[in-house]
Chains A and B, each alone.
Chain A
Amino acid sequence: MANFKERLKMTNAYKHILLGVLTVLFAASCSNNDHVETPPTEKIVDPDLDVNTKDKARFQRAKIVFFALPSPIETARILKKSGAIYNKSFLNPSSSVSSYTTSVQKAIALGIYVADLSYANSFKQQQDCLEYFSAVQQISEDLSLSNIFTAQFIELIEQHINNEDSVLKYLSDSYWEANAQLKENERESVAALVAAGGWIEGLHIASSLVDIDNSEDQLADRIAEQRVSLKQLIKYLLSFKDPKILAEMTQDLKKLQKSFNKIEVKIERQVKTVDVDGLEVVGNKKVYKYPDGVLKQIVTEISEVRTKYI
């Protein structure tokens, strides 16, 4: 009898535990349907938030902060504008695509291949573009990104391969679709790794081409400017609630940031101007100066980080 009572007590306890777990799960699933994976971890002072609201508590809860980086597609464009040349040997061979086994490796590799593809397209390297589209297709499928880089899509690319602008549009639309699918399926940490991979590869291409003995090289400036996006990238990775799969990448980037922080920056205040085409030109001008040996150190460290992930 005593044994029966004890069992009954245990059963009741299990019921309570199960009820508690279900309640927590229910609350978690219903509380915020927008950013399950990416709430910002820092409070940002936003002067525009002083709006008249009936319910300040709700307002604070609902405030959403996005961290966004320039895409690898943009990076390839600025490299070309800064005097970069095309050199395929600096890129990650498309034949390596099947060597990535974990989803972390695959996500980073997707970013790397998108950067390589963008670089090849910027220099109108049609054959290489097709090769990298194929690598992107394979790795996207591995990451369960469906209906983006399909066989029909590759056919379309082949038909328009001579038109750099068309290829750019297809690439940017499909990159958007991939990011959208990852967000829709609450896999934004995977999207963050794709962004990190693309950022590393863009920087790797620039650092492979820069003349490290000539700090006047425009590419040296482009590398120095990445100090801004690196800070942003780290904030982005740190904004995830569960950063387990991002931890290693975050550590590597933080180490790189220490070297980037050695670059001296002089800020020249500017007023807003309008150029001849009527376009507004805004923001302060920044002049970068590398102390002796820092550019070389950064180039070496970028190579080390990139080698780790390819």
Chain B
Amino acid sequence: MSKLVLSFSLCFVVCAFFASSSHAQCKRFTEKQCLPNLSPFTNNGQINNATLFEGDSASLIMTFYSLLDYRLMVCSHNVLGDSVHFKVRDNDGNLLFNSLDAGKNNWDFRVNSTQDLMVSVIAPEDSENMTDIPASGCVSIIVGFKE
């Protein structure tokens, strides 16, 4: 019994460690690979990142103020490939921006009035990945502003 308890406890500690380590890696990735590209906009201090598997998606619903210019940027770890893309829609579901059409991972804009926008990030499945294990990597949605 004591061996069983020890095994489970060990597994629990290892899992907790990996969960924390995944957050730390994602944070470091965002810090090094994403935030520097926000310039000349100022990072708004919010952290919106997660580890996504290919085929996963993440959405950000955020309020944007009318008197500021914004840069919205999505960056993803290389392991997910170049096909990670994002779309921005208003409250009525109208498509305002599609990074696939624009061919870039950031969008500079201003809103007519303070409002919520929905940013959807999609990490498509890699058809060339023949293994049973889907690729996974950090994806960050970052927001910068300037006057």
Contacts and interface: CB of A to CB of B under 8 A. Distances in A.
Nearest to B92: A284
Where chain B touches its partner, the secondary structure class is mixed
Given A29-B19, A66-B48, A168-B42, A48 B113 contact: no
B43 interface: yes
A142 to B, nearest CB: 20
A65 B118 CA distance: 10
Nearest to B136: A62
A95 interface: no
Contacts of A29: 11-12, 15-16, 19
Q: Interface residue tally of chain B, by bracket? A: 35 or more
A28 B114 CA distance: 39
Contacts of A15: 1
Contact of A77 (B23, B90, B145): B145
A59 interface: yes
B59 A280 contact: no
Contact of A47 (B20, B93, B124, B147): B93
Contacts of B114: 225, 228-229, 286
A146 interface: no
Interface string B99-113: 000000001111111
A184 B24 contact: yes
B79 to A, nearest CB: 16
A185 interface: yes
Interface in A150-203: 168-169, 171-173, 175-176, 179-180, 183-186
Contacts of A228: 63, 114-116
Given A26-B15, A74-B145, A77-B68, A68 B46 contact: yes
Contacts of A77: 67-68, 145, 147
B112 A285 contact: yes
B143 interface: yes
A154 to B, nearest CB: 18
Which of A15, A47, A63, A172 has most B Cβ within 10 Å?
A172
B130 to A, nearest CB: 12
Contact of A65 (B18, B22, B59): B59
Given A51-B122, A66-B141, A286-B113, A184 B23 contact: yes
A193 to B, nearest CB: 15
B50 interface: yes
A64 B58 contact: yes
B47 A78 contact: no
20 contacts: A18-B5, A33-B19, A35-B50, A48-B89, A62-B57, A64-B50, A66-B62, A68-B46, A173-B43, A176-B43, A176-B47, A228-B116, A232-B116, A235-B61, A280-B110, A282-B96, A282-B111, A283-B90, A284-B112, A285-B113
Interface of A: 15, 18-19, 22-23, 25-26, 29-30, 33-36, 44, 46-49, 51-55, 58-59, 62-71, 73-75, 77-78, 81-82, 168-169, 171-173, 175-176, 179-180, 183-186, 225, 228-229, 231-232, 235, 270, 272, 275, 279-286
Of all A-B residue pairs in the complex, the 9 with the closest CB atoms, nearest first, are A175-B45, A225-B114, A33-B19, A48-B120, A29-B15, A286-B113, A22-B8, A68-B62, A62-B56
